[in-house]
Each structure stands twice: as C-alpha cells, then as structure tokens.
Chains A and B, each alone.
Chain A
C-alpha cells in the first residue's frame, strides 16, 4: 500500500517538475524524458505491476494537460512498464547496463510510436529529421540520466525492502 502511495506521489511530483523547471537542465533544446527513466527503474526493480501503474498514471496526467487526446500516452507507457518489468526477478539488480539500454530503446520506441500516431497520420513523413535531431539526443540524455536515477531508486528500494522484512518479522 505504501508503495502505491509513493508511486502516486512520485508521478505527481514528476509531472510538476518536468512541466516547470526541467528546462533548467536542457542541453541545446534537448530534455530528458523523466517519465520513461522512472518507468524503467520501477519496472526493473519492482516488476511489471508497479511499472505499469506508474506508466498509466503519469501518462494520464501528461495526456490531460498536454496531449491532444486523453489515453494515448497512458496506454503506451502502461504497456511499456508492463513489458519492461517482465522477468525483472531474474536479472541482477546491481547491473547498470540493463537500465541504460532499457531507457535508451524505450525512449526511441515511445517517441516513434507517438510520431506514427500524431504526425504520420496527419501526413507528415519526415521521420529521419526527428530521429536524428530530436529522438536520438533525447534517448542518449535520458539513458545517461537514468544511471543516476537508478542508483537513487536502488537505494530507496533496498531501504524499503529492509523495512518490509523487519515488519514481517514482528507480525
């Protein structure tokens, strides 16, 4: 239960931060995709259920305030969280390559799906411009930043798991 509250709060805070002062860390107009960074971290550490929950919630928030239609981001990010969390129990959590690669390819997949939904269906075909000028820089930036996030999330998760273990012993 406490994890659901934490994830809900985290999605609200992430929304507020990314829509207000994330601009402070932009590099030549490129911003990291914090939603996907947090989804990759949660789903790797906690499995697909919590990844999907966070993806759904933050995607829905984004849709309501910025998206042209409600549900597009929520659907993509929910499925992404569910997919990335598959087999999370089998991986070594101490490994940093997995979150890096997951984040890199998730950003590319996410932005490409959005391109198809928003732009391609409206008759804009120049995917390579966006791929080279926007998607790849964003993916690289997010992947690098995901290492920092992953380290923090890993520590917080360890702490929470220790606490839950302790609680279980008491009861």
Chain B
C-alpha cells in the first residue's frame, strides 16, 4: 500500500501508456486473445446470473399470464399452425418445382442452404454510440468472426469478435454494420448501413440505389446474392421512407428491420453456408 501511495503518479502514467499501446494494437481484431479468455471466464457467471434475473423479471412484468390469456393465445396459435401448414404444403410444392426447373435449366441454386447454431444473448452494450451485444458461445463451439446472426423474424447482425466462450456481435443498427441487400420485388441492389442518428429510432439506411431504380414504400428487403458473409434471401426489413436526392441523382431508402433489437434473447448463428 505504501508503495502505491509513494509512486502514484508514476503508476498512473505507466498504466496510461500501457493502455494507449494496448488500444492501438487491439483495434480491429477479430479474436480476443488471452485477456479476453481470462476475463470471459471471470465474468461469465456474473453475466449468466444477470441475464437469468432479467429474464425472470421480464417474464413476470410482461403481463400476468392468466388462464384466459393462455387459452386465447392457444386458440390463436392453433389457427396460425393450420395456416402455416397450408402455406408450408404450398411452398414445398414450389420448392420441388423450383428444383426441377433449375435442374432443367442447368442453373445454380439461388438460395443457399445453411447450418445454424442456437445461442443466447447474455449482455447488451449500455453505451450511446454503438449497438452491440454478447453471445454465450465462442470459438470453442466453432463460431468465428463475420458469421451472420438471425432471429425468427429476420437478419439481426453479425459476429465481429470471438473469445473462447463468448462472442461479440453487432446489430444491423450499429454504424459499423453494412450488408449487401436487394429489393425482393424488383431485384435492385443496395447497401444497407447502420446510421448514428437513425439508430435511436431503430431504423437503417439503404444506400447506393440508382436514381431510376424501382423501389416503393413497403417493399421487402432481403440479403443479396453478392455477399460473401450473408447467405442470400434472408429477409431484413421493409422500406418505410424514400429520400430522393436530385442533385446527386441517387435515392436512399429508410428501412425498418423485422428483428426486434430491444428484446433479443435467443438467436441463431449461421455457421456455414454453400454459395
């Protein structure tokens, strides 16, 4: 203790220099080395307890699950199952048709098959500049950086860094995220980017659209087949506004995502897909 009191300034300066060097060398890494592994092991129980407690309370708070409510929900779900089964039957017919026709025309399959791994979100960034979260699986389970993350609603983001038992991921709203997407109706391509100012409203920006491209409010946006990271055809969101810039001869679309980033809980990580 006496040592610390005596050399307070020196320790402070040494630590500052160390941290600056650390920051310079660790920016933009894709796997967190030994420090990440050690701290990951230390904080995992705390984060696990935290997310368990928060899950418990959000379950309690989100409306009393009374008997009536559950009965009504059950009836609605049964109805939906019937509808989905019917739809599924139709779609599998289409799939079979599609397979035959593509084989006939000697084309490559447009939609790629991919494998997924279920994972849980154990922490969310509380800062104001970024929109990232932490998953409970890491490189031990075969995850690496740049793997896409999807929810049942649609694309959610991608992994940017992997520790041994956790991984850091960014959502589509984060300004560091950019995804090659296309308009499902017309096939026009664009780049979907997060934006610092739209982040608070939960929206994204689709850029590099041609001025004469055919895009309307309500169009569904899906991932394009140009991307090396994201499999083609995953739905992302729908167009909610179109901004025309006549001077620059470009269009920008504001896209509302399908995924609910505020209540991300269990997600699927796409571990491998054939292009």
List the interface of chain A (C-beta within 8 A of B).
12-13, 15-24, 29, 31, 33-34, 48-49, 52, 56, 60-62, 64-66, 68-72, 74-75, 78-79, 82, 111, 114-115, 118-119, 124, 126, 129-130, 133-135, 138
- Knowing A66-B132, A66-B168, A78-B12, the reply to whether A21 touches B23 (Cβ < 8 A) is no
CB B204 to nearest CB in A, in angstroms, measures 16
List B residues 27-77 near A (Cβ within 8 Å).
27-28, 32, 35-36, 39-40, 42-43, 46-47, 49-51, 53-54, 57-58
Indicate which residue in A12, A31, A74, A135 contacts B126 across the interface (CB closer than 8 Å): A31
Q: How far is the CA of A93 from the CA of B254 in the complex (A)?
A: 51
- Knowing A20-B51, A75-B23, A129-B197, the reply to whether A12 touches B46 (Cβ < 8 A) is yes
A-B contact pairs, 25 of them (CB 8 A): A12-B46, A15-B43, A16-B49, A19-B124, A19-B125, A19-B134, A21-B50, A24-B54, A24-B58, A29-B200, A56-B15, A62-B127, A64-B32, A65-B168, A66-B123, A68-B27, A69-B26, A70-B23, A71-B22, A82-B12, A124-B196, A126-B196, A129-B197, A134-B128, A135-B128
Q: Tell me which residues across on chain A come within 8 A of B53, comparing CB atoms.
A: 20-21
Instruction: Summarize A's interface: helix, strand, loop or mixed.
Output: helix
Indicate which residue in B4, B54, B197 contacts A49 across the interface (CB closer than 8 Å): B4
Asked whether, in the complex, the Cβ of A78 is within 8 Å of the Cβ of B16, the reply is yes
> B192 contacts the other chain (Cβ, under 8 Å)?
no
CB A122 to nearest CB in B, in angstroms, measures 8
Q: Tell me which residues across on chain B come within 8 A of A115, comparing CB atoms.
A: 129
Q: How far is the CA of A130 from the CA of B28 in the complex (A)?
A: 24
